[in-house]
Amino acid sequence: MATVAAKKQSADATKETTELKRGLKARHLTMISLGGTIGTGLFLASGGAIHTAGPGGALLSYLLIGIMVYFLMTSLGEMGAYMPVAGSFSTYATKFVDPSLGFALGWNYWYNWAITIAAELSAVTMIMKFWFPHTPSILWSAIFLVIMFLLNYLSVKGFGEAEYWFSLIKVVTVIIFVIAGALMILGIMGGHVIGFKNFTIGDAPFHGGFMSMLGIFMAAGFSFQGTELLGIASGESEDPAKTIPRAVKQVFWRILLFYVLAIAVIGLLIPYTNGNLANGDVSVSPFTLVFQKAGIAFAASVMNAIILTAVLSAGNSGMYASTRMLWDLARQGKAPKFLGKLDSRGVPVNALLVTSLVGCIAFLASLFGDGTVYVWLLNASGMSGFIAWLGIAICHYRFRRAYVAQGRDLAKLPYKSKFYPFGPIFAFVLCAFVILGQNYAAFMGDHIDWNGVLVSYIGLPFFLILWLGYKFTKKTKIIPLEKCDLNN
């Protein structure tokens, strides 16, 4: 008996070092889902979107991208509840479409979030210089990189707990913002009714027409990146069949409350002609301006602190997602083997270290200026995010067709998307449209703006090289529907 018990204990110890631990509780997953998209995209970039396309144009752009993201989350929710894996859509592409697409999507997503870490660390330097204007950028990038690393190094539960509280702060801020803004619009706060007058000035609500809206689709997309974390986190959630559908249902309310209502409030309270909206400075963030109008003391400092937690949250999530994707790629033999190792606590430390090194790109901010590096990284990451979403749409379309082709009962799916096939098709078309047309202006005029083309489209050739390179070297083919691997 003692020998059997010892063998079982040894087997359990081995298991701990080969499988991720399911340490994310329902409240972690729900709050990660709720707060996943709230970051600098909403707190800072939303003002620029309104200034560019007018309040109506910004509202419609964010609403369209939001609807697309909701469809994508129902698609990801269906696959994630059925097959919860840390590799998420990279694994799904390998099983349901073509191993080369899985390889390219995995590395693209790792790159996407690793770059986002660098982008958020660049944003940290701008935020901290609000309080400490004469300090070096490299100091703040290094400090916050270490903090993000430690939050992920401790355990998956440590990541989940940190993300829970970061997200809670952001959620409460947006709720207070929307309520205060509504009271000001109605004249209950501030002493006079503002109403809809800012929607009628100049050529509002749609300034610049459709082309201006197209120009801010990428910024809107970057703002919504993080919702697909649900798929990555499914591999470490306690009961994915129950927690994932619950979190997916929250996406609709998140889109409605956090973006549509917040942007409507900003557009109603601040004229789109206000030059401060185009300024990325925290002191004139649209949230800061509205809170100042509401008479809240130290509004800029308060918002700066809140934006700091949002940046930490985005960087924390980015490190978690990219580390898990890199670990899963290594397990599939699509990345160096040493990256597929876990420590005794179930943390992929080697993958975490390599991902953290990419975050050091943020240190370039000290050489080229904070704002320049941040904008460049944001654009590079934005393209990769849309490619990942494109992959989710393709995977779900193929998954459902394979499921039916193999004679399986749809009623037995833990969660079933109500929008198939329209949802993945709509998401695919809109993603492809935004990817190709996001910087159309670079091709206009007498000369092509090659610098603008490089900054905007750099993620596309990177993805194509990965996809086609793996396809030709490994000679992979599209998997017939009847042979798709639907086993967990």
Tell me 87's DSSP state.
T
Task: State how far the Cα of 18 lies from the Cα of 345, in Å rounded to an integer.
Answer: 10
Nearest to 218 by CA among 11, 52, 16: 52
Q: Which residue has the tokens 């609000």?
A: 130
pLDDT in tens, 373-396: 656 666 666 778 889 999 999 999
State mean pLDDT over 190-199. 78
Q: Which of the pair, 121 or 12, is modelled with greater confidence?
A: 121
Measured CA to CA in angstroms, residue 344 lies from 94, 217, 220, 323 at distances of 28, 43, 40, 17
Q: What is the dihedral of CA 61, 64, 70, 72, to 10 degrees?
A: -100
Task: State how far the Cα of 409 lies from the Cα of 442, in Å rounded to an integer.
Answer: 49
Name the pLDDT band for 280 (thresholds 50, 70, 90). Answer: low
Nearest to 246 by CA among 377, 85, 77, 104: 77
Task: State how far the Cα of 117 lies from the Cα of 361, in Å rounded to an integer.
Answer: 9
Q: How long is the chain?
A: 488
CA diameter of the chain: 84
Residue 429 has what pLDDT? 93
Task: State how far the Cα of 177 lies from the Cα of 354, in Å rounded to an integer.
Answer: 38
Nearest to 315 by CA among 29, 32, 120: 120
Residue 4 has what pLDDT? 44
Task: State how far the Cα of 156 lies from the Cα of 319, in Å rounded to an integer.
Answer: 12
Q: Which residue has the tokens 């539960």?
A: 157
Token readout for 438 is 């996001």
Burial of 30 (0-12, 13-18, 19+ CB in 10 A): middle
DSSP string across 233-246? HGGGBS-HHHHHHH
Residue 421 has what pLDDT? 92
- Is the predicted pLDDT of residue 7 greater than 60, yes or no? no
State mean pLDDT over 142-171. 83
Q: b/e for 78-103, b at 16 or more Cβ within 10 A?
A: bbbbbbbbbbbbbbbbbbbbbbbbbb
State mean pLDDT over 223-239. 71
Kindly report which listed range (296-300, 347-351, 470-474) carries the lowest average pLDDT score. Answer: 296-300
As a whole number, the mean pLDDT across the chain is 80
State mean pLDDT over 244-264. 78
- For the chain, what percent of residues have pLDDT higher than 90? 18
Name the pLDDT band for 398 (thresholds 50, 70, 90). Answer: very high
pLDDT in tens, 197-229: 888 887 778 887 777 787 788 778 777 777 777
Residue 235 has what pLDDT? 64
Residue 15 has what pLDDT? 43
Task: State how far the Cα of 19 lies from the Cα of 302, in Å rounded to an integer.
Answer: 41
CB atoms within 10 A of CB 297: 8
Are 259 and 271 a contacting pair, CB within 8 Å? Answer: no
Token readout for 12 is 């359990």
Amino acid residing at 21: K
Amino acid residing at 337: K
Are 318 and 340 a contacting pair, CB within 8 Å? Answer: no
Q: Which CATH number fits domain 21-477: 3.30.300.180, 3.40.50.920, 3.40.50.300, 1.20.1740.10?
A: 1.20.1740.10
Kindly report which listed range (79-93, 238-252, 267-281) carries the lowest average pLDDT score. Answer: 238-252
CA triple 172-173-175, angle to 5 deg: 65
pLDDT in tens, 426-458: 999 998 988 887 777 777 777 887 777 777 787
Name the pLDDT band for 410 (thresholds 50, 70, 90). Answer: very high
